[in-house]
Amino acid sequence: MLHRKDRDRVWSPACRIRPRRVLSSLTVLFLLLVAPGLAGAAETLDIRSLSLSLGSDRAGARPAGRVSLVADLPTQVLPVDYSFEEDGAAVTVGGITVLEFPPEGDRATIRQRSEWVHEYRARRAPPRAGGRLRLDRAHGRIEVKASGLDFSTLAAAGPAGLTVEVRLGGVLFSGTDDCTVRGRTWVILAPPKIIIVPRDRPLPPPGPPVPTLRILLAGAYSAIHAEETAVVRDWPSYGALWARHSPPMPPGVGAPDIGPPDVDFSTEIVVAVFLGDRMNGETVEFTGVAAEGDGLRVAWSEVLLGPTCPVPMYVTIPSHFVFAAISKTAGAVAFTKSVTTRNCP
């Protein structure tokens, strides 16, 4: 498909834009016979569910076809740095493009929910459709929703052997299945995945437990004035850290110290982040924990005030802090810091 801005160019079979030129007969023969064999085979696309509404059957009616797709795909074949905005994405159903990124002449929004989950929305995509494409790399799943599509040619071809293709950058994923017809809606619903274990074999061992994180205490007043992270695995270390964070006050001065929050060190350990002295009202929060080798990696974020927030022009002393309990591990605990800007309502 040629975009408007590429009207004076042609697509080569290798999917690169080349200037228009006259090809020799030998070049044409090579492209027709040899080049297709050089391209890698498409990766498997496992269609989990597909609902395809053909829309109105009235002549001259505005295209009203809709599609909803959920499929599994081997995301490990994608480059680690793959992204919609840099490498592009396209979804076709029965040869009809239902979503394409970036959509020509339209605005789109890229949103990164977590490290491996990307989401993209567009008001329109060829041919004049609105849609949503979500890729979950961690679980190898893609979800597509689109509307305003013209499925007239697809209706004429019939529901048997419907092919769904997803192109992410230079990698093509393809799957084919037969649809069940329900009026003007075609449906594919894959059976649930079931593990069958012979009686003479034990059940497969469970996977590693998912590490947990629960917030113990967070606030804006700490006696630790420099940015610092801490990991404590027993009560003596916990008490020493708490004494640095909240040193005892003279009798009759200030509120009495309530002591550190209770933790069961037989199943959990404590992590803490102290932001240190800041000038513009910054805060700190934990954003997640994940297994890393024999240990854990804890993610935390320094939250900055956005342009809609009033900025206090003074040093926030004592500084912000947060304590959390995470799953117990004998391995090392590493920290990853990020910086987030958050606007005020």
Mean of pLDDT over the chain: 75
Whether the pLDDT of residue 302 is over 50: the answer is yes
CA distance 149 to 99: 10
In the predicted structure, residue 107 carries a pLDDT above the cut 60:
no
- How many other CB atoms sit within 10 Å of the CB of residue 107? 10
pLDDT value of position 301: 92
> What's the gap between Cα 231 and its chain centre?
29
pLDDT in tens, 236-259: 999 999 999 888 766 665 556 678
In angstroms, the CA 321 to CA 217 distance is 8
* pLDDT tops 60 at residue 15: no
- pLDDT tier for residue 303 given thresholds of 50, 70 and 90: confident
Q: Which one has a higher pLDDT value, 257 or 104?
A: 257
Per-residue confidence (pLDDT) for residue 36, from 0 to 100: 46
- Any residues with CB less than 8 A from the CB of 186 and at least 6 apart, and which? 50, 51, 52, 54, 159, 162, 179, 180
Instruction: Give the per-residue pLDDT at 189.
Output: 79
Strands 9-11 and 268-274: unpaired
193, 241 Cβ separation under 8 angstroms: no
Confidence band (pLDDT; 50, 70, 90) for 17? very low
Residue 116 pLDDT: 42
Secondary structure (H, E, C), the chain? CCCHHHCCEEECCCCCEEECCCCCHHHHHHHHHCHHHHCCCCEECEEEEEEEECCCCCCCCCCCEEEEEEEECCHHHCCCCCCHHHHCEEEEECCEEEEEECCCCCCEEEEEEECCEEEEEEEEECCCEEEEEEEECCCCEEEEEEEEECCHHHHHHCCCCEEEEEEECCEEEEEEECCEEECCEEEEECCCCCCCCCCCCCCCCCCCCCCCEEEEEEECCCCCCCCEEEEECCHHHHHHHHHHHCCCCCCCCCCCCCCCCCCCCCCEEEEEEECCCECCCCEEEEEEEEEECCEEEEEEEEEEECCCCCCCCCCECCCCEEEEEEECCCCCEEEEEEEEEECCC
The whole-number pLDDT of residue 154 equals 82
Q: What is the mean pLDDT of residues 86-100?
A: 85
Instruction: Report the pLDDT value the prediction gives residue 335, as an integer from 0 to 100.
Output: 95
124 Cβ partners below 8 Å, 6+ apart?
103, 106, 130, 148
pLDDT band at 199 (very low <50, low <70, confident <90, very high): low
pLDDT of residue 178: 86
Q: Are 326 and 298 in contact (CB under 8 A)?
A: yes
Question: Residue 102 half-sphere exposure, CB side, CA atoms within 13 Å?
Answer: 11
Predicted confidence at residue 278, as pLDDT, reads: 79
Tell me the per-residue pLDDT of 250-289, one tens digit each, with 9 for 90 and over. 666 555 667 888 999 999 999 999 988 877 778 889 999 9
